[in-house]
Structure 1
Amino acid sequence: MSMNPELGKQALDVLLSRDGKWSLVILNSGKERIVLNIVYGEDMGADYVHITTNICPSPKESSDTDFFHADEIVEIRDMESNRSLWSLSNGG
């Protein structure tokens, strides 16, 4: 399945609902990002939001700040259970 704006919104909603819980975000580049919280924004004319991770407020545990767009996400997993919370291959 290919990404579309509705699936991008679904992925964003999953990340927003996980605020304060560790998630593993797998990107279409194969890179994996560990996420505790996000802020996001919309660029004029863009179909997908941009997402910045782990900045607000600073997590007590060390984590990197990352930046990607919603259309780069292929899967979101719960870090504790490794359960898939959202997957592009399953249609969201």
Structure 2
Amino acid sequence: MRRTRPRRRFHTDRIVLARRARYLRVVGCGPDRLDPAIRRRLSHGALANTTPWDCGTAACGICRDPTTAGQRRRRAERSWRDDWGMERW
């Protein structure tokens, strides 16, 4: 299926609505009682790219999972080097 502009927009809207609903469910209040700064974080453009709990720092250990791709790759390389008896560099 071709990735047309309306189809991309539909899926982006679907993801944004799910992220906004999850944030409101966790916080436990309605969208009308939110602070204006939080409303900006829950805007369509902000939620289309990141989750509401993401601070935007790539190496943040609080809002990012410590087992992200870079560490996972290093761990995998260390494991196969140990299995083959090769030195670590």
Alignment TM-score, normalising by the size of structure 1: 0.28
Structure ranking higher on relative contact order (CA contacts 8 Å, 6+ apart): 1
Alignment TM-score, normalising by the size of structure 2: 0.29
- Name the larger-Rg structure: 2
The structure where helix makes up a greater share of residues is 2
